[in-house]
Chain A
Amino acid sequence: MSRLPGRVAALRSRGRRDLAAAARSALRVPVLVTLVVLVVALVFPRFQGWNTTVMGLATEALTYGLVTMSLNLLMGYGGQVSVGQGGFLAVGAYTAAIVATHFGGLPFIVVLLLAGLVTAAVGLLLGLPAGRLRGHYLAVATLGFGLAVPEIALNGGSLTGGYTGLIMPPQNLGPVTLNNPVPVYYLALAVLVVSAAAIRGVLTSPTGRRFMAVRDSQDTAPAMGINVGRTKVVLFTLSAFFCGLAGYVFALNNSIVEYSSFDFSLSLFFFAAVIVGGLGSMWGSLIGAALLVVIQQEAVSLGGFSEAILGVAVVIALLLVPGGLAALPRRTRAAIAGPRILRRPAGQTGTGPGGLPGQPPAPSSPAGASREG
């Protein structure tokens, strides 16, 4: 822009803001780190001496990591609260067990996809009414869903096995029978990696931007051509799909699918994992879920206190790292780069680009609510 060069320069970011931008771009987890983590995950069983207990726990961490990611898609990226994600996991797990029991000859990939698709259909049905709700009302609706699914399973007669549940028949992956914790672990890893790549694909596409646009400014999003109701239904459907895939792995890892596995504390576990890991961070979800799995495991020996310890751990994590574990690298870098970056709260402007004091943004009110002329 040759015109008004001084003005243009003033409008451009300078100084400290550039530092903040540099810090942020540096924190994007590079491909290299992803590869290193993947390699560690691949060789991990070897160093555990193929210990079945540890493998089962590691598979649980991967499974819950995927559930937490699916919930993060819903909450962190879509801005829709859910405290009933355990319900989707249950639908996926029961679907896998029912299909595998009645159609023993089906290849594992078909059972896996059916678990995802049936759960997605349930997510769509839940999304139709839930898409019209916000905040606390949505939380209560998803709470009801999370509570209802295990009850339905308990009263599902021979289809769901009622009180005793269903045995998940071993699945065949080519010549390998998935009846041993090690192959199940690798399957869980593969499902997680493919799902994470798919979720990333969504997030870097028009669909993903629509999710985030609805999250950040639901009232004005329609002016950009976004059908908010439809976007939320798609969001719930996708979140449920990935959670259903996790349900298949859950069924394999636990060998038995019973209603008591899906009590309400499981949904709270995922909710906590998303918050501890950090809303809007896929890595945060993985780490948050893994951390809580370990804490829960360690707390088991303390009997009735395990839930309370989980709760205390969550509170401590949030006090120490507001914004979740995902915010840790940014906070560290910001602390090194200069304390001001951290202190300026998001949504507030320090100094306007023209050198005059910037105006704080108007509180977001529904576009339609203001009839000022």
Chain B
Amino acid sequence: MLQIEDLSLSFGGVQAIDGLNLTVPDGTITALIGPNGAGKTSVLNVVNGFFRPQRGRVLHDGLDLLSLPPYAVIQRGIARSFQNVALFGGLSVTDNLIVGYDHRSRTGALRDMLHTPKVIRHERTARQRAQEVLEFLGITGIARRRADELGFGERKLVDLGRALIAHPSLVLLDEPASGLAEGQKAWLAEVLNRIPAEFGAAVLVIDHDMRVVMGVSSRVIVMDFGRKIAEGTPDEVRSDPVVITAYLGGSSRGAADGH
């Protein structure tokens, strides 16, 4: 379980996150929505160790995350995807996925160079895991393609797969549906829905696409100006007047256009 308590983060005079409390229970999908600039990605960047908050606590399964450097967060079972789909362009799709698994490898450069049995075992397991993830996402056909040759929808799925391959207990997804065509969004929603059952992971997802968000999440948290302005089930949030005002005032997107 991820617990965020009284979190505040500012850049100079800009208050990105302001006294945020948030919980993501195990095995559930929680959505974090809000107008552009509400501070949603900043929350992920704090959990991920990229940003250091001025105040507050972030606990995962009771353990403090804020003292960790960014590269150690995945060791605690927290993986993420990125808004701008930062795949490793020169690597194949399979290798992109495997990089998401390589933190399990405990061999150093010397043993890697010599391909000791431990290294070979790691490679074999990683390849198998990559294959499973590709099958789960329905993209086995692109396994050997270079990431920078992929279409945008494929990149989004590979980014998601890279976060899933190590079977984390929590995945942070930053706008997985943005830029996708309608049909791709439907497939994404289906994939997201199956993550808790198939990977045993909780999901904290940011997105602007209300149909995807409302369709997959059991709880929705709404942020604006760094604060939580509403929380509840998708239905509760959809009819909340505070949320509607925030959306209509903050951006042209409608909060109630989901169904």
Contact = CB atoms under 8 A, between A and B. Distances in A.
B144 A25 contact: yes
A8 B187 contact: yes
B119 interface: yes
A212 B151 contact: no
A367 B38 contact: no
Interface string A2-26: 0110011011110001001100110
Interface stretch (B22-30, B59-67, B86-94, B234-242): B86-94
Contacts of B109: 202, 207, 234, 237-238
B112 A201 contact: yes
B70 A7 contact: no
Contacts of B160: none
B138 A1 contact: yes
B254 interface: no
B199 interface: no
A4 B186 contact: yes
B133 to A, nearest CB: 13
B112 A206 contact: yes
A223 B79 contact: yes
Contacts of A223: 48, 50, 70, 73-74, 79-80, 82
B5 interface: no
A363 to B, nearest CB: 8
A207 B112 contact: yes
A209, A349, A368 — most chain B CB neighbours (10 Å): A209
A201 B113 contact: yes
Interface in B50-80: 50-51, 69-75, 79-80
Nearest to A22: B144
B138 A8 contact: yes
B40 A373 contact: yes
Nearest to B84: A362
Contacts of B89: 216-217, 346-347
A220 interface: yes
Contacts of B16: 371
A355 B87 contact: no
A156 interface: no
Nearest to A216: B88
Given A1-B135, A212-B90, A354 B105 contact: no
A372 B36 contact: yes
Nearest to B78: A223
A210 B112 CA distance: 12
A353 B151 contact: yes
Interface stretch (A131-139, A173-181, A224-232, A284-292): A224-232
Given A353-B154, A365-B84, A372-B83, A222 B70 contact: yes
Nearest to B102: A206
Given A352-B181, A359-B152, A373-B36, A13 B41 contact: no
B223 A368 contact: no
B254 to A, nearest CB: 18
Range of interface residues on chain A?
35 or more
Interface string B109-142: 1001111000100110000000000010011111
Contact of B184 (A24, A198, A234, A354): A354
Interface in B202-221: 206
Contact of B152 (A201, A207, A212, A349): A349
B157 interface: yes
Contacts of B3: none
B113 A213 contact: no
Contacts of A11: 138-139, 153-154, 157, 184, 187
B91 A216 contact: yes
Contacts of B6: none
Interface of B: 11, 14, 16, 34-43, 45, 48-51, 69-75, 79-80, 82-91, 95, 98-100, 102-103, 105, 107-109, 112-115, 119, 122-123, 135, 138-142, 144-146, 148-155, 157, 162, 179-184, 186-187, 190, 206, 223
Given A222-B70, A224-B74, 11 more contacts: A7-B138, A12-B140, A24-B144, A205-B123, A207-B108, A212-B90, A216-B89, A227-B69, A353-B153, A361-B85, A373-B223
16 contacts: A3-B190, A4-B138, A10-B183, A11-B138, A17-B145, A201-B114, A213-B99, A222-B69, A228-B71, A352-B153, A352-B181, A353-B154, A361-B84, A364-B86, A367-B45, A372-B40
Interface of A: 1, 3-4, 7-8, 10-13, 17, 20-21, 24-25, 198-199, 201-202, 204-210, 212-213, 215-217, 219-228, 234, 237-238, 280, 346-347, 349-356, 358-359, 361-365, 367-368, 370-373
